[in-house]
Chain A
Amino acid sequence: MNGFGILKGLWITLRHFFDTYLSEFGRNRKKLPLDDQRGMVNSPGLFTIQYPEEVLAAPEEFRVIPFLVYEAGDYDQRKYRCTSCGICAKVCPTQCIYITRKKDAETGKPIPSPEEFYIDTDKCMNCGFCAEFCPFDAIKMNHDFELATYERGETHIFNKEKLGKPVEYYAKIRPVNYALEVAEKAEKAEKSTAA
């Protein structure tokens, strides 16, 4: 019968609407684990996340703009893990990493530490190669994706200060990776003391 198809279509939409309303009713997503925040398998309705009021928790491997890991020294000093070896700058597909190697003021010999470290975040494509190939675990991918600014020139070139994050932050956003790294280092240290 002609016209029945339209009614059927409208009925589907209406049912979805009520299903969504009922499954949302009295639900607090923030307390649910990541899997259930969307109501993966059983949700009959839509599962829209009301961003920015609710934010879906990011999985550990989620990646946006890299950051530089530092360990806090005395007097709020930042001890960057970076040795300015330049592998991240070489592997970067968009070539958005600029590193200046530190030099000894008297002898002019290079010191394994970055004098300056810039990332042009306009170019960065968040591929994660820098973090993947860094041999010193000095550069990691961040989770913070709310990066909008009112100015699009200088503020989009991140310098060393802006890129630096304490090692605790790294441990917080990537707990599994951090635990693996600590275990690996302990193993290495054990080997070197045994030898």
Chain B
Amino acid sequence: MSEQTAIHPLYAQLISKFPDSVVRDDRAGFNGVVVQPLNLLEVVKELRDSLGYDYLSSVTAADDFPEERLEVIYHLFKSVGGAPAVIKVFLGREEPVVPSLTPMYPGAELQEREVWDLYGIRFANHPDLRRILLWEGFQGFPLRKDWKEPLYEEDVKPFKSRWPEGKGERKELLNPYKDNVQYPREFEPSTVSGDVDQAMYKSLEYSDDPNSRVIKTDQLVVNLGPQHPSTHGVFRMAVVLEGETIVNLKPVVGYLHRNHEKIGERNTWLQNMPYTDRLDYLAPMSNNFGYAITVEKLMGIVPTERAEYIRVMMAELTRIASHTMTTGFLLNDLGAYFTPALYALEERELILDVFEEVAGSRMMVNYFRFGGVVRDVSPEVLKKIKHLVYNRLPRKIDELDKYISANEIVRTRCEGVGVLTADDAIAFSTTGPNLRASGVPYDIRRADPYSIYESLDFDVCTHDHGDVYDRYRVRIDEIRQSIRILKQVLDRIPEGPIMAGKPQYATKVPAGEAYGRVEGPRGELGFYVVSDGKPNPKRYHVRAPSFINLTSLAQMCKGAKVADAVTILGAVDIVLGEVDR
């Protein structure tokens, strides 16, 4: 991309409004505007209040090593749909500070903490800036390019020691810290003493207002999790209780953290594909989809038509599997221990059988490639899917609906619990069924269509109360819409190749950046990638929907009872593989 493309009218407008502080990002392959850190708040205020960019989707950072520069990247959207406004802030490597957007968009809270955690960029005026994915005693900021990871042999894969002289030794175990400069040689994690959670408990107490007490009782901090079946994995809620009522709540995450993004930056482009399966492990096809379309955007290739149909088919099957399971496990959280969950798992099981036949694995599918999919769907499998879509699934969903929706226990426990208003939902950057249950008809398949969704006929399901019951209703409705989509896809699927170009393991990706997003079962799954033309991504960021949906958890739980917190969490529907990354 040597010639300068025409500037987007939005950016032109911003530059003319703030000529001193806003410039265009004119690196080849990049877009958006660069804002001076001190003027960030007024530019974003203009975007939000005058131009309608009320939805802050993603906050992330990148390291321009070897240049002495870090950048913070914001993607803002309109909640009525459309393309993003990309705002960047350039910072020095020493003591970088940028004003926090959390007062303006509460949805930035956890994301800014993540950037602080992994990049060491300080957000001024952030209400609670602590590490989030890593523990408090951690040394250094791992996503900075000059940070060396222990245990690993080289910065990028493939490692040189594997071929032609591979000896089959576990070399990385011989020298765990190697040339990691941050850890002192004698550093031993087990000797670190002191309560690393102190800062977290402190932050809970700060927000406690003694005048608001209703009952004359001590406030009590209770940790729900991390080892607790109601938390759907290793998730912990630190809850301040007054009697049974929740006064304040902090989500504590990171127990499953493996620094997916660091791994992603070490991998080659293609090697990342199987790793994305492990993000939201209940919806692996959607993760593949998001990553594939993002890199394709950067490469400028378009998948073949049959591949597009297969992709949509798989993504919708995943949505059905994930939503039925969520519904089943919501009942688990209500106390119907495992019987409804197992009934829901039946349908998932049959869908996973299809994945197993098509992709070779039930969960870790690794099915998508840049420009298509890895192998064709045979006529027998299509017949199987047809059976599911026309016979079994509609019947079973109706059954589920009949049993659950009118059940008096479900209704008393779910209606009016965990309410999130439409304005709050947008401000907290909530996505997916949670956003639509609050009455915001925002579905990326319609708001910013990708693949073949534009040509398909389906409704965006919304409900208006924003409570747990409506979140459940939205999911049931969405399953029905997915079945509707699948019927159209099965009717129209064309013959032809499943891959644009030849399959190759060394993918050439031109320099530039891309932000791609898909509507996964949990909401907006975004991938932000930066390439510098090398075989490995320079920056690989995952905007995980369930992580960002957790931002509003405290808001939903305040004033509710302890037992309701479990239900609310169940309806938010988190997957820890994605939250902790």
Contact = CB atoms under 8 A, between A and B. Distances in A.
A157 interface: yes
Contacts of B409: 5-6, 9
B250 to A, nearest CB: 34
Contacts of A125: 274, 364
Nearest to B381: A59
A87 B168 contact: no
Given A5-B408, A59-B356, A91-B271, A98 B361 contact: no
A126 interface: yes
A95 interface: yes
A95 B158 contact: yes
Nearest to B365: A127
Interface stretch (B240-248, B316-324, B384-392): B384-392
A142 B361 CA distance: 12
23 contacts: A2-B408, A8-B403, A35-B384, A38-B349, A40-B388, A41-B387, A61-B356, A61-B360, A84-B163, A90-B158, A92-B158, A95-B158, A98-B168, A100-B166, A116-B166, A118-B167, A125-B274, A126-B364, A128-B360, A129-B274, A132-B374, A133-B503, A157-B168
A47 B403 CA distance: 20
Interface of A: 2, 4-6, 8-9, 12-13, 16, 35, 38, 40-41, 46-47, 58-63, 84, 86-87, 89-93, 95, 97-101, 110, 116, 118, 120, 125-129, 132-133, 141, 157, 159
Contacts of B163: 84, 86, 89-90, 97-99, 101
Given A2-B408, A38-B349, A126-B364, A120 B162 contact: no
B536 to A, nearest CB: 12
Which among B161, B166, B342, B356 has the highest number of chain A CB atoms within 10 Å?
B166
Contacts of B366: 127-129
B255 interface: no
B146 interface: no
A99 B387 contact: no
A95 B361 contact: no
B164 A110 contact: yes
B170 interface: yes
A121 to B, nearest CB: 11
B210 to A, nearest CB: 39
A62 B360 contact: yes
Nearest to A133: B505
A9 B407 contact: yes
B356 to A, nearest CB: 6
Contacts of B144: none
Interface string B393-435: 0000000000100011100000000000000000000000000
A141 B359 CA distance: 12
A40 B360 contact: no
Interface string B166-200: 11111000000000000000000000000000000
Contact of B162 (A4, A16, A40, A97): A97
Nearest to B271: A93
A28 B161 CA distance: 51
A7 B339 CA distance: 15
Chain A contact surface mostly: mixed
Given A91-B505, A100-B167, A16 B271 contact: no
A143 to B, nearest CB: 10
Interface of B: 157-159, 161-170, 267-268, 270-275, 336, 339, 342-343, 346, 349-350, 353, 356-361, 364, 366, 374-375, 384, 387-388, 391-392, 403, 407-409, 503, 505
Contact of A41 (B166, B274, B374, B392): B392
Contact of A46 (B274, B342, B391): B342
A177 to B, nearest CB: 10
B274 to A, nearest CB: 4
B350 A38 contact: yes
A173 to B, nearest CB: 12
A16 B396 CA distance: 13
Which 5 residue pairs of A and B lie closest in terms of their CB atoms, listed nearest first? Answer: A98-B166, A118-B168, A86-B163, A101-B164, A127-B274
Contacts of B388: 40-41
Nearest to A59: B357
Contacts of A87: 505
A14 to B, nearest CB: 11
Given A91-B270, A99-B162, A101-B164, A46 B346 contact: yes
B310 to A, nearest CB: 14
A118 B384 CA distance: 39
A84 B164 contact: yes
A137 to B, nearest CB: 15
Contacts of B161: 98
B384 A40 contact: yes
A62 B356 contact: yes
A46 B503 CA distance: 41
Which among A2, A4, A47, A99 has the highest number of chain B CB atoms within 10 Å?
A99
B364 A120 contact: no
Given A41-B387, A133-B505, A86 B164 contact: yes
B505 A5 contact: no
A159 B167 CA distance: 10
A5 B170 contact: no
A95 B375 contact: no
A95 B157 contact: yes
Nearest to B164: A101
Contacts of B167: 98, 100, 116, 118
A38 B353 contact: yes
A40 B9 CA distance: 54
Contacts of B272: 93
